[in-house]
Amino acid sequence: MPLDPIAYQPYADPDDFIREVTDLIWVNRAIGHIRENYEADSIVHGSYGTSVGRDEVIQGTLMRISDTPDRIGQAEDVVWEARGDDAFLSSHLVLSADPRHDVVSRTIASCLYRRGRMVEEWVIRDALAIALQQGQDPDEVARAKAFAGYTGSFTQPAPSDVIAVGDSGPRPDDFRAEVEMVLDLIQQVWNDRDLNKVEDFFVRDLVLQTIGSATIIRPEGYRRQLLKMIRPFPAGQFEVRDVATNSHPRYAGLRIAVVWKFSGHYDGTADFGPLTGSPVDVLGISQFLVQNGRVVREVRLYDEIALRAQIAARRGDVPYAGTNIY
């Protein structure tokens, strides 16, 4: 079923919609356009929890722009997929650069737009990259943050058949074989810890771009990065919340975007200070580039500063009781 233009007007298509609206707000400073772009009761799931209402988005956007006025972000990828005939889900990978402070970072925003208005969003920023490049102590930054926790759909069990229906609703059955491959990768390598199977899914010359603005290459690099991520939470598991696919030569072919949640307990390697045994919930988004039936590249983002903030709060460190988590 073709997508009704009402889903993305007045722009050419959802890709153009996402790139231009983001530029309008974040580069041209049309912060007030959020009132037209977001529903009044829009829901945003971020690294520090769930917020409801566009006023918090407006206020948070204003503070971020004011805090980093030299920052410029541009679209590195837009993975969009229809949700019925008048809506779409977009996974927008943004590459941001602040030339004045020599800081480069990435953000992925997964947004459900219905009839041209945002109704629900899942957004991840690589705050670790910013802290490290500014010479800040990640633990000190984390102690100044408050984790509010998740509400709504993100607290419900993961969809039982995410190929058919994700958190954003029913999806088209596009590129089933490739989607099944990515889901098998997440289950077998990430969850079952069969790290030897990395080469069953990836090409030899793979590239992983992940938190801290890190670039990892080759299967062994991928294995070590995954081990580093999960070793503080050795029994933790990943659940897939949503999937979107898009194939376009502009972005080198087929990309598969996955919204996931990692849940575990801080009872493994003490990478973030003394162990607490306390639970953690981590929102993450990955974009996989698939060529000739194999994964060539993954961009995997989650917010390690928010993760540290959860642990610090459980340990009794005193967080700053801020109210805006956008």
- The CATH number that applies at residue 117 is 3.10.450.50
Q: How many domains does the chain have?
A: 2
- Whether 320 is in a domain gets the answer no
Residues 112 and 170 both lie in one domain: no
- Whether 321 is in a domain gets the answer no
Task: Find the mean pLDDT for residues 88-105.
Answer: 96
Task: Give yes or no for residue 85 having a pLDDT over 90.
Answer: yes
Task: Give yes or no for residue 1 having a pLDDT over 80.
Answer: no
* Domain's final residue, options 120, 143, 166: 143
- Whether 148 is in a domain gets the answer no
Torsional class of 306: left (φ above 0), alpha (ψ -120 to 50), beta (otherwise): alpha
Q: 155-159, 177-181, 299-303 — which is least confidently predicted?
A: 155-159
- Whether 257 is in a domain gets the answer yes
Residues 189 and 89 both lie in one domain: no
* Domain's final residue, options 143, 170, 200: 143
Residues 137 and 190 both lie in one domain: no
Residues 310 and 163 both lie in one domain: yes
Show the beta-strand stretches assigned E in the chain: 38-46, 49-52, 72-82, 87-98, 103-114, 117-125, 165-166, 169-170, 202-210, 214-217, 237-248, 253-265, 279-291, 294-302
pLDDT value for 320: 44
Task: Give yes or no for residue 318 having a pLDDT over 80.
Answer: no
Task: Find the mean pLDDT for residues 85-89.
Answer: 97
User: Are 315 and 273 contacting, i.e. CB atoms less than 8 angstroms apart?
Assistant: yes
Instruction: Give the residue numbers spanning the domain of 166.
Output: 158-315
Q: What are phi and psi of 250, to 5 degrees?
A: -55, -35
* Domain's final residue, options 113, 143, 173: 143
